Amino acid sequence: MQTTTTLSSFDDFLAAARAQPESQRLLFVFGVAELPQTHSPGQEKRFREGRGGALSPVMCVDKAITELADFSALAQESQSTGQPWDVVFAAALAGPSGREPSDAEVEQALRSMIGAVHRSAVERFIAFDRDGHALHFS
């Protein structure tokens, strides 16, 4: 997905995906903040203050744009799993030659996203908090 707009909310993300000329599949990886097993006292302090920790992927899903009206629909569906999460990473995947991405392409993209979250290499995704506000990592 290409856009020159700054995305500050989930609604912005959906609007940008819907505006693309190619058919898009929306990809989501949900993560939970955890304190690493081997951590320093400073890391623990920052984590307790809500400013640190490591993100671990806990679930993922893909959606057609038509399957998702807004963030609350995604949040409600995620709550039905019973799996807690702190952040959701999102991306849009376009299929080649104007067609929707195949199931295999979607699966590979989700695996790639999960690996990126494990490595903390999330700069190419947009991230949202539990209220649908865009997060910026530094």
The total number of structural domains that make up the chain? 1
Which structure tokens are listed for 106?
A: 């979607």
Which structure tokens are listed for 69?
A: 């009206």
CA distance 31 to 96: 29
How confident is the model at residue 98, as a pLDDT?
A: 76
Give the chain's count of helices (H) and strands (E).
Answer: 4, 5
Confirm whether 3 is domain-assigned: no
Distances in Å between the Cα of 70 and the Cα atoms of 12, 35, 66 are: 10, 31, 10
Q: What is the chain's pLDDT, residue by residue, as a tens digit (138 residues)?
A: 443 457 888 999 999 999 988 889 999 999 998 887 888 888 888 888 877 778 899 999 999 999 999 999 999 999 999 999 999 999 999 987 878 899 999 999 999 999 999 998 998 999 999 999 998 876
Confirm whether 68 is domain-assigned: yes
Confirm whether 22 is domain-assigned: yes
Find the DSSP H helices in 1-138: 10-18, 41-48, 71-79, 103-118
Confirm whether 40 is domain-assigned: no
pTM for the complete prediction? 0.87
How confident is the model at residue 138, as a pLDDT?
A: 62
Q: How far is CA 2 from the centre of its chain?
A: 17
Domain span at residue 65? Answer: 10-35+49-135
Confirm whether 19 is domain-assigned: yes
Confirm whether 99 is domain-assigned: yes
Confirm whether 97 is domain-assigned: yes
